[in-house]
Amino acid sequence: MSNGANVDRRILKSQDAIKKAVIELMSEKRFNQITIQNISDRANVSRRTIYLHYHDKYDLLDKLIEEHINEMHAMCEWACEMDWRGATIAFFEYFERNYLFFSTMLASKGAHSFRSRFLEFLMVEFKDEVDLTKEKNGGLDQDVILRFMGTAYVRLVEWWITNEMPYSPRDMAHQVGVLLERVV
């Protein structure tokens, strides 16, 4: 699957339709119940078109998840240079813009791999931020701190998304930023 600048608009349009279709279908039923034909029908593309871009529905899901993880890594290049609150605003705004994806991935039992990869991403990104020399962190293992922070963050995003974002991204970022500053 090419993502170069020379990719035909029709290809991008088809890929977007396919990704949107699988997310919509996952919000309606379990991933193991979804067929390529279901995706094809929803995306209004042929099965052949899907197979031109993806080996199977698992490859499609994997590439979709990878796309969002890569986007969040790219965000870290600039957002993680900010303080906790500023960086967290950027992420909560991203979660809001991609509400259907995150609500589906965090609510779906068929997307356990997303939750694991999201946690792994957070632990990697938090690693450079944890200060083990702080008095409050003395004697604590970095892996325990990272898993604690990452798991709390994943569950908080899940709560926020599944409760239809009861607070604005800025309000969430402020509160999460304060909490993260207390830990690190």
Tens digits of pLDDT across the chain (184 residues): 444 456 688 888 999 999 999 999 998 998 989 999 999 999 999 999 999 999 999 999 999 999 999 999 999 888 767 777 778 899 999 999 999 999 999 887 656 789 899 999 999 988 877 776 666 667 788 888 889 989 999 999 999 999 999 999 999 999 998 887 776 6
Closest to 102 in 3D by CA, of 59, 67, 50: 67
Phi and psi at 147, nearest 5°, equal: -65, -40
Give the rounded distance of the alpha carbon of 47 from its chain centre: 27
pLDDT of residue 1: 45
CA distance 78 to 162: 28
CA distance 177 to 90: 12
Closest to 164 in 3D by CA, of 95, 91, 90: 95
Residues found in the chain = 184
As a CATH number, domain 6-54 is 1.10.10.60
- Give me the numbers of helices (H) and strands (E) for the chain, helices first please: 9, 0
Give the rounded distance of the alpha carbon of 102 from its chain centre: 6
**Entry pTM:** 0.85
Return the structure tokens found at 151: 């798991």
DSSP 110: G
- Delimiting residues of CATH 1.10.357.10 domain(s) in the chain: 72-183
Are 8 and 53 in contact by the 8 Å Cβ rule? The answer is no
pLDDT of residue 5: 54
1.10.510.10, 1.10.357.10, 3.40.50.280, 3.90.400.10: which CATH number matches 72-183?
1.10.357.10
pLDDT of residue 2: 46
- Delimiting residues of CATH 1.10.10.60 domain(s) in the chain: 6-54
